Structure 1
Amino acid sequence: MVRRLRVAEAVRQEARSAGRAVRLARERPGRERDLALQSLKAGLAALIAWMIAGRLLQAPLPFIAPWVAIVLVRSTVYQSVAQALQQLGAIAVGTVLATAGGTTLGSPTSAMALVLPVTLLLGNWPRLGDQGIYGATAALFVLTSGDPSVEAATARLLESLLGAAVGVGVNMLILPPVHLRSTQAAVWAVIDEARQTLTAVADGLNGSWSHREARDWDERARRLFSLIRQARSALDRGRESTWLNPDRRNRAELRRRHGSFTHTVHVLEQLSDYLSDLTRTLVEASDDRTGRPRPEEGVTALYTRFLHDVAAAVEVYGELVTGDDRSARRRLRQAVDEVHAAQRRLRELLATKGAGGPESMALYGSLLVDARRVADQLLEEPPEDTM
C-alpha cells in the first residue's frame, strides 16, 4: 500500500513537471520552447525523409532515411553536420563488414558472431564520437534482412545519406538554433545566486549568527562554482551554435554578446573566490574549537552595509550584461563608487582592530583583503566593444 502511494505520488510529480514544462514552452522563450521546437523539427525531418524515400524513390527499406534524419536534428547546426559525418561513417563500416561477412560465410548467424564484435569494437573509435553504435546496428539490419548483397548495401547507404541530408537541411534552414537565451540565462543564474548569497550573509551578520549558519553560507558559496561551470558550458554551446549557421542576424548578435558574457563569467569567478574566502573565514571565526575571535559588533555592522552595497552592485551589473538597458552602465558606476566608499570606511575601521593579538590580526586582515579584492576585481565594467 505504501509503495503504491509512493508510485502514485511520483507519477503526479512527473505529471506536474510535464505540465509546467508545457506551460513554460507556451508562455515564453526558454529551454522548454527550444526543446519543443527541436522535437517538432525532428518529426518534420523524419516525415520528409519518409515521403522522399518511400513515396518518391520507392526505396526497399524506406524506414532507414527517417531513422537517420530524426536523430540528426541536434541542438546546433554544427552538431548536426559533425554527427551526420560520424554516423554515415559508422553505418558505412557496419554495412560493408556485414555485407562482406554475409556473402562470404553464407550464414547470418556465423556472420553475426564474427561481424558484431568487430563493429562494436570499431564503434569506440574516438573519431566516431557517440555515433559508433550505429555501425553495429547497421550490421544487424544487413544480416537480419536476409539480403547481404552489394546492391542492397548500396541502397541502404544511399537511404542513410538521404536521411542525413534531410535532417541537416531541416535543422539548418528552419529556425536554425542559436543559443543566446540559454547563455544569458546561465550567466544570470550565477549573478542572481551570488547576489542572494551576499544578501544572506549580510543579513545573517546583522544578527546573532551561529556556526551552523556560517557553514550554510559556505556551502552556498561553493555551489556558485557549479553554476559557473554550467555558464561556461553554455558559453561553449553558444559559440558552437554560430558555426555553419545561416542565420546571420542572430549569429552576429550572439558573437557581439559573447565577449561580454565571457568577461562576465571571469568576473563571477572572482566573486565566487571572494565569497568562498569570506564564508570560510566566518566558519572559522564561529567555530569555538579554532580559538579565533568573532568580528566585533561595530565591524559586522559596517561589513553588513558593505555586503549589501556589493549585492546591489552585482544586481546592476547583471542588468547591464544580460539586458539592453544602457542606463545600467551609469547606475553601475554609481554602485561601484558606493562599494569603494564602503570599502574605504571598512579599511579605516579595521586598521584600528589589529592590536588584539595574532588571531584578531588574522581575522580582520582576512576581511580587509577580501573587501579589497571584491572592490578592485569583481565589479569591473564589461568592455565597451563587447556590448
Structure 2
Amino acid sequence: MELMRKATRPVRRIAGTAVSAVRRACAGPGRERDLLVQASKAALAAWLAWAVVGWWLAAPMAFVAPWVAVVLVESTVYRSVAHGLQQLAAIAVGTAVATGTALLLDSTMITMALVLPAVLLLGQWRRLGSQGVYAATGALFVLTSGPVTVAASAARIAEAVFGAVVGVAVNVLVRPPVYLRDARAALEDAADEAREILDAVADGLADGEWDGLPVGEWHERALRLGRLVDQARSAIGWSRESMRANPRGRRTRPHLPGDEAYSDALGVLDYVALHTAGVTRTVREIAESGRTARPAPELTRAYAEFLGDTARAVRLYGRTLAAPGVPNDHDDAAAEELHEAVTKLQRTLDDFRRGLPGAVPDDPDALVTYGTLLAQANRLADLLAQD
C-alpha cells in the first residue's frame, strides 16, 4: 500500500498543479489564462487549415498546412509574422533544392546524402534565424513522400503558405497577445521583494541586538532580488515586442509607459537591488565577524529607522509603477504619498548623517562601513526623489 502511495504521489502532485493552474486561468487575467488562450488559438488555426486543405481540397500532403499554422501562433504578433516569413523562405529553399537535385540525379539515396548537409548549413544563415532548420524539413518532405515531381513540390509550398497565413491571421485577429500586465507585475514583484527585505532587516535591527538575526537568509534574498529585476527587464522587452504589428496595440498604447519611463524604473530598481545587497552583506559581516566591533544600539536603531522609511518609499514607488497610464486621482495620490515618504526618508537620513561621527569617534572601521552605507543611501534617496 505504501509503495502504491509513493508511486502515485508524482501523479497527484502534477494533477494538483494542473487543477490549480486551471483555477487561476478561470479566476482572472494572468499567465495561466494567456497560455490557455494561446493553446486554444493554435488548435483553432490547425483545425481551420486542415478543414480547408485536408477535408475540402483533399490535398495529398495536407498535414503541412495545420503543422505550419500551429507553430506560427507565436507569443507575439510580430514574432508570428517574422517567423512566418523566415519559415516559408526556409521551406521553399529546402523544397526547391531537394526537388531539383532529385530530378537531376534520379536517386533518392544519393540526393539525400548530398542535399541534407547543404540545407542544414544553409539553415544557419542569419537571415533565417531560428527557422533555418525548416529548410531540412522541407527537403525531407520531398525525398520521403513518394515520387518527386515539380507539381507535388509546388503543392507542398502552397500548403505551407496557406498554413502560415491561417496561423498568423488567427494570432492577429483572435485576442492578439499583449504583455503589459506581465511587465508591470514583474516591476511590482521586484519592488515588493525589496520592501519586504528592507522591512525585515529594519525590524531585526530595531532593538539594537545582533545575536540570532537571520542575516544569511536576508543576504540570500537580497542576491535573488537582482534576478527579479532582470526578469522585469525581460518582461518589458516582451511587452514592447507584443505591441509591434498588433491591432490591440492601438487601443493599449496610450496606457503604455514610454521607453524613458521603463528605463527610469529599471534604473531605480537596479540600484534598490544593489543597495539592499550591500546593506544585507554589511549586516551579515558585522553579525558574524568577531573582529568587527558592533555599533552602538542608538546608531543601529537610527539606521533601522532609515531602512524602515526606505522600505515604505520603495513600496509606494512600486504602487506608482502599477498604473503607469493616463493620470488619474489614484496615481496623483500615490505620487503624493511617495513624495512625502521620500521627504521623511531624507530627514531620517540627515539625522543619521549628523549622528554618525559622534557615535563612532574611536572606530575608523565602523565609520568606513557606515560611511559606505550612507553614500549608497544618499544615492537611493536621490533616485526615489527624482522619480
Equivalent residue number for residue 376 of structure 2 = 370
Q: Report the counterpart of residue 262 of structure 2 in structure 1.
A: 261
User: Shift in Å at residue 286 of structure 1?
Assistant: 2.3
Q: Shift of residue 258 of structure 1?
A: 5.4
Query: Corresponding residue for 1:106?
Result: 106
Matching residue's letter, 2:148? P
Counterpart residue identity of residue 42, structure 2: A
Shift of 1:374: 2.1
Output aligned runs, 1:1-387, within 5 Å.
6-207=6-207, 208-210=209-211, 213-256=214-257, 259-288=260-289, 291-323=291-323, 325-326=330-331, 327-381=333-387
3-state SS, counterpart of residue 386 of structure 2: coil
| Pairwise CA distance, 1:238 | 0.7
Instruction: Quote the Cα distance in structure 2 between the aligned partners of 1:274 and 1:6.
Output: 46
Shift in Å at residue 122 of structure 1?
Answer: 2.1
Secondary structure of the 1:293 match is coil
Matched to 1:244, the amino acid is: A
Q: CA deviation at 1:212?
A: 7.4
Contact 2:77 2:171 in 1 (8 A): yes
Cα shift at 1:210: 4.8
* 1: CA distance, partners of 2:160 / 2:243: 26
**Which is further off, 166-175 or 250-259?**
250-259
Deviation at 1:86, TM superposition (A): 1.2
Report the CA distance shift for 1:83/1:7 in structure 2 as closer, same or farther (over 3 A). farther
Q: CA deviation at 1:6?
A: 4.9
Deviations 1:314-340 (A, max 9, x none): 111111221362211111111111111
Give the secondary-structure state (helix, strand or coil) at the position aligned to 1:352.
helix
Classify 1:250/1:191 alpha carbon distance in 2 versus 1 (closer, same or farther; 3 Å).
farther
Contact 1:180–1:254 (8 Å) recurs in 2? no
Deviation at 1:248, TM superposition (A): 4.2
- Alignment TM-score, normalising by the size of structure 1: 0.92
Query: Identity of counterpart residues, as a percentage?
Result: 44
Moved more, 113-122 or 299-308: 113-122
SS of 1:148's partner is coil
Work out whether residues 204 and 213 of structure 2, in 8 Å CA contact, stay in contact via their aligned partners in 1.
Answer: no
Displacement of 1:2 after TM fit? 8.4
Name structure 1 gaps, 5 residues minimum: 382-387
Q: Cα offset for 1:260?
A: 3.0
Is the contact made by 2:357 and 2:367 (CA closer than 8 Å) also made in structure 1? no
Residues 133-191 of structure 1 show CA distances to partners (whole Å, capped at 9, x for unaligned) of: 21222211111111221111111111111111111111111111111111111111101
The count of residues paired between Structure 1 and Structure 2 equals 380
Offset, 1:243: 0.9
Amino acid at match of 1:43: A
CA contact (8 A) 1:267 1:379 kept: no
The answer for unaligned runs of 5 or more in structure 2 is: none
Amino acid at match of 2:237: D
SS of match in other structure, 1:60: coil
Please give the root-mean-square deviation of Cα atoms over the aligned residues, in Å. 2.1
Note the alpha carbon deviations across 1:87-132, whole angstroms, 9 max, x for none.
1111112111221232223232222222222222222222222212
Question: Compared with structure 1, are the counterparts of its residues 285 and 101 closer, same or farther at alpha carbon in structure 2 (3 Å cutoff)?
Answer: same
Change (3 A) 1:4 1:212: farther
Regions of 4+ moved over 6 Å: 1-4
Provide the C-alpha distance between the structure 1 equivalents of 2:268 and 2:85, rounded to a whole number of angstroms.
Answer: 38
